[in-house]
A and B are shown apart, each in its own frame.
Chain A
Amino acid sequence: MNGRRIAFRNARLIDPASGLDAKGGLLVENGRIADVGPRLFNNADKNDPEIIDCRGLVLAPGLIDCRVFTGEPGSEHRETLQSASEAAAAGGVTTIVTMPNTDPVIDEPSLVDFIKRRAAATAKVRVAPMAALTRKLAGEVMTEIGLLQEAGAVAFTDGDRTVANARVMRRALAYAGTFGALVVGHAEDPELTEGAAMTEGEFATRMGLPAAPALAEAIIVERDIRLVELTGARYHFGQISTRASLEAIAAAKARGLPITCGVSAHHLVLNELDVGTYYTFRKVKPPLRSEADRAAMMEGVASGIIDVIVSGHEPQGADTKRQPFGAAAFGSVGLETLLPVALCLHHEGHASLSHVLKALTATPARILGLPAGTLAKGAPADLVLLDEAEPFVVDERKLHSRAHNSAFEGRKFQGRPRMTFVGGECVYNAG
C-alpha cells in the first residue's frame, strides 16, 4: 500500500505517556505516527505531505473511553456500534471499550467475534469489547475467560451488575488471575440498593424517592479489595463515586495491590441536587452523590488515586426515560461530553491539561493493554485536535448518538474536539 502521509504542524503536542507538552509537529504515515517533535514542519515546504495547520491547538492521543454501553446486539433502536462510534468521533474518542450488557450478553467467544466484526464493518473508531465475567451476567458461573481473551475480549466485567456471591467472585478472580486477565467490577451492594433510585440523604427524603446509603458502594469496594489480596488478580473498579471508596482504594494501592479505578464524568461535576425536579436524565447508576463525594472525585483524579475518567455512556430512549423518576431507566449518554467535562478539572485548577488527558489516554491504554493512547513513534495515529478554551452549550439536538439522554443537556462547558483521527483517517471535523 502506498502510504498516505499527513503532516500536522504548529500544534501544541501533549503526550501524557511521555510527559511531552510542547509546540511542534507530527507526521502520520500508513496510519501510524512516523515522527513527532518540536521542530517538525516548522517551515512549510512544497515537498511536505498533506498539511494540517493546528494553529496552536492541542494535538493529543485520541481518547479511550473504558465504559461504553451500546445497544448492539439487541437494542439497536437505542444505539448501534456505528452510531456510538459517530458520537465517539465527535467527542474525540478513538477507542470505545464496550460493555457486555447486551442482548444476548457477550459471554461467548463467538459473540466477542461478532462485536469485533460488526465494529470493523460499521464503526468509525476502534472498538475494544469487554466480555462478561459470569454467564448471562447472572453472577453464578464464570465465563470462558481464556477462550474469550483469545477471541479478543480486553477485560471481564458484569457491567453495571455486582457479583453478589463472594465465593463466585473469589473463584472468578483466581481463575482470571491465571490468565492475567483484567476484571472490572461494579461496586453496589445489590441487596442494599434494591429498588433505589437515589443516594440516601436529605434530598432523597424531601423528594420522597427510594434511596440507598452511599456505603453500599464502599462495602463492595472493601470486599473486592480483600478478594484481590487473596487471589492476586488484576482488578479495576469501573467507576467509583464516594469518598469512602476513594480512601479504601488509596489504602489498597498503598499496600501494592494491583487495583485501579475509574470515575464517570457525571460524578465529577454533578451532585444529587442536580436531579432537581425529578430529572430522569440525571438518574444514573450509581446515583449522583453528595457534594462532598463529588468534590472527593475531583480530588481523586487530581491526586491520581482515580486512574481513568469514563463517560459511562448509556443510551436510553423516551420509552425508558420518559417515566416517573423511580421507574425510569438509569444512564446518560456521554461520549460527546467526556472531554469537555474532564477539562473542568483543568479549568478549575485541579490538574494540568496533560494530567487530565492522561486519565483519558495513556492510563486506560496501560490498564487494558491497548497499543493506543500515546504519540510515540510507531503508535497508531489515533489523534484528537482540541480547542481547550472554546465555550459551548450542550444541545441534545446536536448529539451524534442515536440516544439523546444527556445528563448535561443545557450545561455550559469549555473545550471540545475540532478534529478526530483514527489510524490517520479523519473521522470527525467540526469545520
Chain B
Amino acid sequence: MTSASAAPILRSSHLLGIEGLSAPEATALLDLAETYVALNRSPEKKTALLKGRTLINLFFEASTRTQSSFELAGKRMGADVLNMSVKTSSVSKGETLIDTAATLSAMRPDILVMRHYDSGAAELLSRKLECSVVNAGDGSHEHPTQALLDALTIRRRRGGFNNLTVAICGDILHSRVARSNIRLLSMMGARVRLVAPASLLPAQADLFGVEIFTDMKMGLAGADIVMMLRLQLERMAGAFVPSSREYFRFYGLDREKLGYANPGALVMHPGPMNRGVEIASDIADDLNVSLISEQVEMGVAIRMAVLDALARGMK
C-alpha cells in the first residue's frame, strides 16, 4: 500500500491552522494517529509511506520538542529529513523569508515544516511554494499540530469531547497554542473556558464563543481538563504581569486551585514548563493527573498522521 492510494483525509495540501479544518478532517487525523500510537509502541517503528519524500524543518524560533517530534515523525515515515537551523542559515545574514523559501523550493522538498515568530508566515510561504506547508507555530496565531495532539490525548483519556469542560489558563494573549486549541476543542464539542488576568487576554476573546474568567478558582470550578500555558519569562517582568511570585500566587496551578476542578480532572501543558510560575512541581510530576509526558508521545503520532495525510494528496 502506498500512501497516495489510501483514502484522502485533507482537502488542502497544507496544514496551516485549525481554522480551515473541518470536524470530520480532524476526527480522521485523530483516528489515523491512533494507528501510529500503536506503531510507535512496537519495536519496529518505521513505515515506508514517505519513502523518497523530503521533509524540511525550518525553525525560526528555538524549539526542542516540536522540531524533534517532526524530525522523528518524518524519519519513522521513511522520509529524508533536513533540519534548517536559522542561526546557521542565510536568514541570519539578512535574507527575506520569501527568498529563503524560493531557495528551499528549488531543492524540491515535498513537505516544509515551519515555525516562525510572525503570525501569517506559514500562510505566506504556502502561497509561494510548490510543496506542502505544515505550520509548526506562527507568531500568536496557530499551532495546529499541538492542538491536534492535545485533542488526541484528551480523546484517549476521556473517550470524546461532549460534555467536557476544558479550562485553558495563562497567557492567552500571546498564545498560538490557545488559539488553535480554542478552535479545535470548540469544534469537537467541548466547552472551552479561558482563565487569565485581563492583561493577558486578547480583546474580545469571547468572540471565539468561550467563557472568560479572571478568577482562576472560579474558572477551574467544574473543569475536566486544565490546560496550562507557558508564560514567557520576559512577560512577567512587569509589562503584563508584575512578577512571577504574584503570577504563581493567583494563576499558578497548585493543589489548592486544582481542588476547584472536577474530581479526576487532568492537567496538560504544551511545554516547556516554568515550574513554580505557572505550575507547581508536585502537580507536573503527578502521573495521576499530569498528561504532560503523554502529550509528547501523542505529538509524534499526530505528526506522523499529518505527514501521512498530506502525502495522500501528493502526486
Chain A residues with CB under 8 Å of chain B are: 135, 140-147, 171, 174-175, 177-178, 231-232
Contact = CB atoms under 8 A, between A and B. Distances in A.
Most chain B CB within 10 A, of A145, A174, A178, A232, is at A178
Contacts of B199: 171, 174-175, 178
Given A147-B245, A178-B198, A231-B198, A171 B240 contact: yes
28 contacts: A135-B238, A140-B238, A141-B237, A141-B238, A141-B242, A142-B238, A142-B242, A143-B242, A144-B242, A144-B243, A144-B246, A145-B246, A146-B246, A146-B250, A147-B246, A171-B199, A171-B239, A171-B240, A174-B198, A174-B201, A175-B197, A175-B198, A175-B241, A175-B242, A177-B214, A178-B197, A178-B198, A178-B199
Nearest to B203: A230
Interface string B16-54: 000000000000000000000000000000000000000
A141 B237 CA distance: 8
Nearest to A231: B198
A120 B287 CA distance: 48
Contacts of B201: 174
A231 B214 CA distance: 13
Nearest to B214: A178
Interface in B211-251: 214, 237-243, 245-246, 249-250
Interface in B239-285: 239-243, 245-246, 249-250
A144 B245 contact: yes
A177 B246 contact: no
Interface residues of B, number: 16
B44 to A, nearest CB: 53
Contacts of A145: 242, 246
Contacts of A174: 197-199, 201
Contacts of B238: 135, 140-142
A175 to B, nearest CB: 4
Interface in B133-149: none
Contacts of B246: 144-147
A142 to B, nearest CB: 5
Given A174-B198, A174-B199, A178-B198, A146 B239 contact: no
Contacts of A143: 242
Contacts of A171: 199, 239-240
Q: Binding site of B, secondary structure by majority: helix, strand, loop or mixed?
A: loop
A314 to B, nearest CB: 28
Most chain B CB within 10 A, of A135, A141, A171, is at A171
B282 to A, nearest CB: 22
A147 B250 CA distance: 9
B239 A141 contact: yes
A147 B246 CA distance: 6
A177 B214 CA distance: 9
B236 to A, nearest CB: 11
Given A144-B242, A175-B198, 14 more contacts: A135-B238, A141-B238, A141-B242, A143-B242, A144-B243, A144-B245, A144-B246, A171-B240, A174-B197, A174-B199, A175-B199, A175-B242, A178-B198, A231-B198
A141 B246 CA distance: 14
A286 B78 CA distance: 74
Contacts of B198: 174-175, 177-178, 231-232
Contacts of B197: 174-175, 178
A177 B215 CA distance: 11
Contacts of A177: 198, 214
A137 B283 CA distance: 37
A145 B243 CA distance: 10
A232 B238 CA distance: 20
A183 to B, nearest CB: 13
A146 B252 CA distance: 13
Contact of A147 (B237, B239, B249): B249
A145 B245 CA distance: 12
Most chain A CB within 10 A, of B197, B237, B241, B245, is at B197
A141 B199 CA distance: 13
A163 to B, nearest CB: 13
Contacts of A175: 197-199, 240-242
A135 B197 CA distance: 19
Contacts of B241: 175
Interface string B175-204: 000000000000000000000011101000
Nearest to B201: A174
Contacts of B243: 144
A8 B167 CA distance: 57
A178 B198 CA distance: 6
Interface in B95-117: none
Nearest to A147: B246
A175 B201 CA distance: 10
A91 B82 CA distance: 79
A177 B242 CA distance: 14
B227 to A, nearest CB: 20
A231 to B, nearest CB: 7
A140 B250 CA distance: 22
A105 B246 CA distance: 19
A15 B272 CA distance: 58
A174 B246 CA distance: 15
Nearest to B242: A144
A397 B270 CA distance: 68
B219 to A, nearest CB: 12
A231 B240 CA distance: 14
A175 B198 CA distance: 5
A135 B242 CA distance: 9
Nearest to A167: B239
B91 to A, nearest CB: 30
A231 B201 CA distance: 11
